[in-house]
Amino acid sequence: MPNSPKNTILFSLIANGDKKAFDKFFAIYYNRLVSFSNHFLSDRSSAEDIVSEVLTNLLIEKERIFRLKNFEAYLYTAVKNKSLTLLAKSKRELKIDWTIDSAHCNQEVITPQELLEEQELGDFISKVEENLPDRRKMVFRLARHDGLTYKQIGEIMNISERTVEVHLKLAIQCFRKEISSFLNKKEIPLKIRRRKIVPMTPIFLLFAYCLF
């Protein structure tokens, strides 16, 4: 659902850096979003953490996100997806058999040099992402950071699912080209490449496949 005229003005002010407008937005939405998240988690503390994370990301990307025509849809979808992700993670952790003897676990020793190389790779990935065209970057971040589906992204940005798919395909092609070149140039060991953490959504399983 598109933003109301009143909210459109408020969101526009926030996008332009108006702190009072953001304080007003926070007062209106914070408790609503916490209650919404708590509906899934039944844990208010975790719900508050989820909402705080979403709002922090909003401030970082305020120039783009607050200009979305369906911003409220984005807001609730982001909170819902992060809540469900945390819930699924908690359920998986409950299934872990803690009786496994840790001595039998193969633990990889990471050297300081490898940590430095991994950080360098992470910084480069962020740089490539930042240099994507604006709309492609927005689609990519909605998928990567918020875990939205093609349909959800399309509804929020008023574009077709096919257009979303094309933007993501082009973004992945860009990452594949730039990162492959970077890895070869720096001669970073394969185990560093494979250890680099990538969110395991279907999109990023494809992303990892393209890289390695």
Based on the fold, state whether residues 67 and 127 are members of the same structural domain: no
Residues 3-32: tens digit of each pLDDT: 677 778 888 888 888 899 999 999 999 999
pTM of this prediction? 0.59
Sign of CA dihedral 81, 87, 88, 89: positive
Reference 164, options 184, 149, 180; nearest CA is 149
Separation in Å, CA 97 to CA 41, 85, 92, 102, 148: 23, 21, 11, 11, 31
Name residue 60's amino acid. Answer: I
DSSP notation for 46-94: HHHHHHHHHHHHHHHTHHHHTT-TTHHHHHHHHHHHHHHHHHHHHHHHH
Based on the fold, state whether residues 125 and 208 are members of the same structural domain: yes
Based on the fold, state whether residues 89 and 128 are members of the same structural domain: no
Alpha-carbon distance 165 to 73, whole Å?
20
Based on the fold, state whether residues 47 and 123 are members of the same structural domain: no
Residue entry with tokens 């953001």 = 22
Residue 146's domain comprises: 110-212
The reply to whether 102 falls in a domain is: no
Over the range 151-174, which residues count as b (16 or more CB within 10 Å of their CB) and which as e?
ebbbbbbebeeebbeebbeebbeb
Radius of gyration from C-alpha coordinates of the chain: 20
Residue 204 has pLDDT above 50, yes or no: no
Residue 137: helix, strand or coil by DSSP?
A: helix
Range 52-60 average pLDDT:
88
Alpha-carbon distance 72 to 182, whole Å?
38
The reply to whether 78 falls in a domain is: yes
Range 91-113 average pLDDT:
55
Report how many domains make up the chain: 2
- The token pair at 195 is 């250890």
The reply to whether 30 falls in a domain is: yes
Task: Give 173's pLDDT tier (boundaries 50, 70, 90).
Answer: very high
Based on the fold, state whether residues 80 and 23 are members of the same structural domain: yes
